[in-house]
Structure 1
Amino acid sequence: MVNSRRNLIMIIIALSIVVVLSNAITAQYISYKVESKIRMEMEGISHQIAQIQRQNRSNVNYVNYERDKKWDDVMSPTELAQYLDIELDQVYHIINNKGSGIPYICIDDAYRFGKDAINEWLTSEKSIIINSIR
């Protein structure tokens, strides 16, 4: 009787520990996902604000026009997702997959993609996919 009661208490304690650990891991995962989503949204919003500010300049001279025109060839992750017609999460999945070889630069935790480099990368990826199908 004492052993079965002791075993029952040990099982209850073990299950309690599993539940607590499971909740802690789940909370960390949710926190990471929320932070990641917030970071992506903030990055997209800040880039949109910068675009609006560039468009609203009233006294644009030729030098500023050329500089702004160059930035049209640089994309944020949100713009890249639109350009590739994929979800934003997929863009970050490609970035995190070091084998993808996607060309980007990271400035203060903000990813930027050159349009020409992405087009070249797409061309090389297309040929790799075609070769793997054969």
Structure 2
Amino acid sequence: MAFFDDLSHIGFSTKDFYKSTELYEKLGFELIDQEDNLGSKVNFYQINDLILEVYEDKTNSENGAINHFAIATDEIDKTFAHVKKLGFELIDDKIMHLPFFEHGISYFNFYGPNHETIEVCQKNKE
């Protein structure tokens, strides 16, 4: 018997709350909720079923509180060009490929404002 259905959200702290807000809105995330947690700002952003919790933590000394999160796409080439055009710092200077799943995946990574790694991933159909 399964107790879990799907990913609820991915949460991470940010030293610069407004830079994070700007990044996720530029990427097309919709702000779905704003909260205050004992004086710390908390925003929830959503694209389709993916929800991110971004919370203010000025004492965070790590490069993002998670290693990375992945956003799915069916148009990796267009997405890569769009992210590059927006001026984000790319980790991968080209679209990468791995033999995962039936037909492999194509992906690239870039940095968010807190040096968190953001992966864009496409499950290849052929």
Q: TM-score, normalized by length of structure 1? A: 0.23
Higher relative contact order (CA 8 A, sep 6+): 2
- Report which of the two has the higher share of helix: 1
TM-score by length of 2: 0.24
